[in-house]
Amino acid sequence: MSGLARVRAEQRSELIQALKSHLGLRLSPGIESSLDAALRSAASNLQTSPEMLLRRVVLGEATALRELAEHTSIGETYFYRQHEQLEALTSYVRTQLASQPSVKVWSAGCSSGEEPYSLAMVLREAGRPSGSDSILGTDVSAAALAKAQEGRYGAW
């Protein structure tokens, strides 16, 4: 079959390990099954074959890794996601960090930014002075981060 119609088990393992070691991306079992489609889509975008893209990813080539990451990461995000965690953060900030001049928060895997913006709102609601804290939002998806930087969201 041309175009690596299906990723063989040993290739799948190499691919998963490469994404983990080069990007820190740990794929959930559900997404592992869609690696074939992700590899084909990413290869098409880079105008290469899935086999060549797989080799480039395993070797750690930045362009190949970025493109495949765009097709394997799950961009599920929304404001006030994980409400229980945000409530716990609010309580912690009010009781343990109230006297701190600044608080630094990291939102890893922030997708298009709803979580970091939610964190900013939570810190403000917890009584933190405006502009005193910093929030770092990171993600493997450059497209998601570009949307996060815009900070424009629909009514939902």
**pLDDT of 93-129, one tens digit each?**
899 888 899 999 998 888 888 889 889 989 998 989 8
Q: Going by C-beta distance under 8 Å and a sequence separation of 6 or more, which residues neighbour residue 151?
A: 113, 117
Residues paired with 105 in a beta bridge: 135
> Tell me, what's the pLDDT at 133?
94
Does the pLDDT value for residue 1 go beyond 60? no
Q: What are phi and psi of 106, to 5 degrees?
A: -115, 125
Is residue 146 classed exposed, middle or buried when 0-12, 13-18 and 19+ CB atoms within 10 A define those classes?
exposed
Q: Would you call 108 helix, strand, or coil by DSSP?
A: strand
Is residue 108 classed exposed, middle or buried when 0-12, 13-18 and 19+ CB atoms within 10 A define those classes?
exposed
| CA–CA dist 38, 35 (Å, integer) | 5
CB atoms within 10 A of CB 80: 15
Q: What is the pLDDT of residues 13-33, one digit of tens each?
A: 888 888 888 888 777 776 666
Q: Of 128, 127, 104, whose CA–CA distance to 116 is shortest?
A: 104
Tokens of 23: 């990007």
pTM metric for this prediction: 0.64
DSSP 46: T
| Helix 62-72 and helix 9-23, axial crossing angle in degrees, nearest 10 | 110
